[in-house]
Amino acid sequence: MFFQFLIEDRSTNILVDHVMQKLTKQHMEKEIVWNVKHFGGIGHLSKKGSVLERKTGKLLNDLPMFLRAFGKVLQSMEDSALIIVLDNDQRDVRKFRQELENTAISNIVLCDYVFCVAVKEMEAWLLGDPGAIREAYPDAKIQFLKRYEQDGICDTWEVLADIVYPHGYQKLKKKAGGNYTEIGKAKCEWADKIGKCLHLYENRSPSYQYFIRELENRLIPDCPQL
């Protein structure tokens, strides 16, 4: 089975690689291969068709172009799927999913594909596994999870920062000084360390459960709901 991922940013790329490595060990009887194309952020869906398209490095801006390109390649490949992973941020999840599906339909994507939306953002998938957080960060301040609503449209990475970053979110914010590079670096570290400890099937995040279920459904068609 070949999975082609389109992913919003590097930290999600790191997490997905860990998930796929674990999934490969879980299904050692199957040949699982994957490739990841990550972008430099999410960007915005174009509201109007453009005669001239150019790459922007943002997932949503470039989505029509990559849907068409990978759609053609994967259409001729047996046992392959295109998996698009992105955050909904502040968007209404149902409306956002419909906009994504409309984009795929309008670009005539004929290969197997699925949009997996992290609600509100990728860090929700890390917060969904407190055991993995404790294993990765033995001194983690897990009590901060009490103020977090799983997969809610609320602070997500900020809560994770309070849990695992020395002196919490405010310290990271001050160190970053308005520069996202420092925050992005921290997010990559969390995705790597917690991702290594993540339990494939023990996660409180509904959007993570949807993601892993879509992968399993392609490895084992009609597999039981997780």
CA distance 33 to 102: 28
Q: What is the tens place of the pLDDT at every residue in 202-212? A: 999 999 999 99
Question: What is residue 178's predicted lDDT score, i.e. its pLDDT?
Answer: 82
| Same domain assignment for residues 76 and 152 | no
Type of residue found at 97 = R
Mean pLDDT score, 187-192: 98
Which letter does DSSP use for residue 153 in this model? S
Q: Is the dihedral of CA 200, 202, 218, 60 positive or negative?
A: negative
Question: What is residue 221's predicted lDDT score, i.e. its pLDDT?
Answer: 73
In a domain, 224, yes or no: no
Q: Which structural domain, as residue segments, surrounds residue 155?
A: 124-197
| Same domain assignment for residues 148 and 93 | no
What is the DSSP track for 52-76?
A: S----S-HHHHHHHHHHHHHHHHHT
Q: What is the tens place of the pLDDT at every residue in 83-113? A: 999 999 999 999 999 999 999 999 999 999 9
Residue appearing with tokens 């599906």: 101
Q: What is the tens place of the pLDDT at every residue in 20-56? A: 999 999 999 999 999 999 999 999 987 655 545 678 8
Q: For residue 58, say if its preceding peptide bond is cis, omega within 30 degrees of 0.
A: no
Q: How many CA atoms lie within 13 A of 9 on its CB side?
A: 18
For the chain, the domain total comes to 2
Indicate the Cα dihedral angle 114, 211, 126, 87, nearest 10°. 20
Judging by DSSP bridges, how do beta strands 80-87 and 33-38 pair with one another? unpaired
CATH number at residue 106: 3.40.50
Is 3:20 a contact under the CB 8 Å cutoff?
Answer: yes
Residue 186 above 80 pLDDT? yes
| Same domain assignment for residues 139 and 42 | no
